[in-house]
Amino acid sequence: MLTRSVILPGILLALSAVIHSSLYDPSADRERVRHKEKNKILHDTLISEKCQQPADAAQKRELLATTEESILFELEDKLQKKLISALIRCRKDRQPTTVSALPSTTTPQATQSALVHCEEAINLIEAWRTDTNGTRLNYKVPNCDTKAMMKAGYPWFRFSKGAGNRLLDSSPPAYSCGTHIGLWTDEPMPEAVGVETATTVYGSWTGGCKQISLPIQVVRCSDLQNDFLYKYDSKDDGCSRSFCGM
């Protein structure tokens, strides 16, 4: 007969596995891995440019090696902001030098402001942004990014977590992305890091995939795939329109 000392640990292990499975969020895990890769690039860049690292950066890296999964993303995110700030300060102190976000694909036109955007951008995380089936999610209260972003002062934004990791690159049907008109683009994204680039998003409505066209700005923050920021760049506050993610 199995004793309580054998049965109880087994039950606890089983319960732990069930709880972890029910709480596991693949999109959050992918986002954390993306942050981890970017932090390594930033760390290597600081070393190669002989820049002083943030005082607590080493301590945060030690915590990342021993901390529970539930708060790893938060630590990676805080470390990334510290590293970017350190790189901005270092390069500003050494002016005039060519400024770049990360070295391999940058151009002389790259700006320090782009690095600041990468640090301060807001995150769009709503899962309904990836609904591209015209299922009228959130239809009773359709989202209106264009009006909201004008009111907020035209913030730079990225797609994160449930919203995917970049702007949708194909036309969705009407009533997708939690609104009436989903905004997307099939225009090429910038290859150079740290260069603000003007491009166009399109609105898919009942009259066609490109029935509406609106200007936006895009900047690539690093060499990592899909590491883009976007900014609405129009005074058109028409509704109801949402930026679609993928």
Give me the pLDDT at residue 82, please. Answer: 72
Residues 47, 81, single domain; the answer is yes
Give me the pLDDT at residue 140, please. Answer: 74
Total structural domains within the chain: 2
Residue 116, in any domain of the structure: no
Residues 163, 220, single domain; the answer is yes
Residues 95-120: what's their mean pLDDT? 55
Give me the pLDDT at residue 46, please. Answer: 66
Give me the pLDDT at residue 63, please. Answer: 54
φ/ψ (deg, to 5) at 226: 65, 25
Residues 186, 78, single domain; the answer is no
Last residue of some domain: 97, 130, 149? Answer: 97
Give me the pLDDT at residue 107, please. Answer: 43
Residue 20, in any domain of the structure: no
Residue 115, in any domain of the structure: no
Average pLDDT of the chain? 76
Residues 53, 151, single domain; the answer is no
Residue 73, in any domain of the structure: yes
Query: Long-range contacts for 96-103 (Cβ within 8 Å, ≥24 apart)?
Result: 99/194, 100/193, 100/194, 101/193, 101/194, 101/220, 101/221, 101/222, 102/41, 102/42, 102/45, 102/193, 102/194, 102/222, 102/223, 103/45, 103/48
Residues 237, 170, single domain; the answer is yes
Residues 125, 208, single domain; the answer is yes
Residue 180, in any domain of the structure: yes
Is 133 or 77 the better-scoring residue by pLDDT? 133
What is this structure's pTM?
A: 0.60
Is residue 233's pLDDT more than 90? yes
Give me the pLDDT at residue 242, please. Answer: 95
Give me the pLDDT at residue 35, please. Answer: 65
Residues 6+ apart with CB under 8 A from 53: 43, 46, 83, 86
Q: Compute CA 93 distance to the chain's CA centroid, rounded to the nearest angstrom.
A: 28
Give me the pLDDT at residue 213, please. Answer: 96
Residues 64, 152, single domain; the answer is no
Q: How far apart are CA 38 and CA 223, in angstroms?
A: 9
- 181 strand-pairing partners: 241
Last residue of some domain: 55, 81, 97? Answer: 97
Residue 43 is encoded by which pair of tokens? 């760390």
CA distances (Å), origin 98, targets 90, 172, 186: 12, 41, 31
- Residue 29's pLDDT band (boundaries 50, 70, 90)? low
- Residue 11's pLDDT band (boundaries 50, 70, 90)? very low
Is 154 or 41 the better-scoring residue by pLDDT? 154
Q: pLDDT tens-digit profile of 157-201?
A: 999 999 999 999 999 999 999 999 999 999 999 998 888 999 999
Residue 2, in any domain of the structure: no
Residue 13, in any domain of the structure: no
Residues 224, 126, single domain; the answer is yes
Specify the range with the lowest mean pLDDT, choosing from 14-18, 129-133, 154-158, 188-192: 14-18
> Is the distance from CB of 241 to CB of 146 less than 8 angstroms?
yes
Is residue 34's pLDDT more than 80? no
Determine the structural domain holding residue 46 and report its residue range.
27-97
- Residue 75's pLDDT band (boundaries 50, 70, 90)? low
Residues 228-238: what's their mean pLDDT? 95
Around Cβ 45, how many Cβ atoms within 10 Å?
A: 20
**How does DSSP classify residue 56?**
T
- Residue 148's pLDDT band (boundaries 50, 70, 90)? very high
φ/ψ (deg, to 5) at 107: -125, 165
Last residue of some domain: 97, 113, 131? Answer: 97
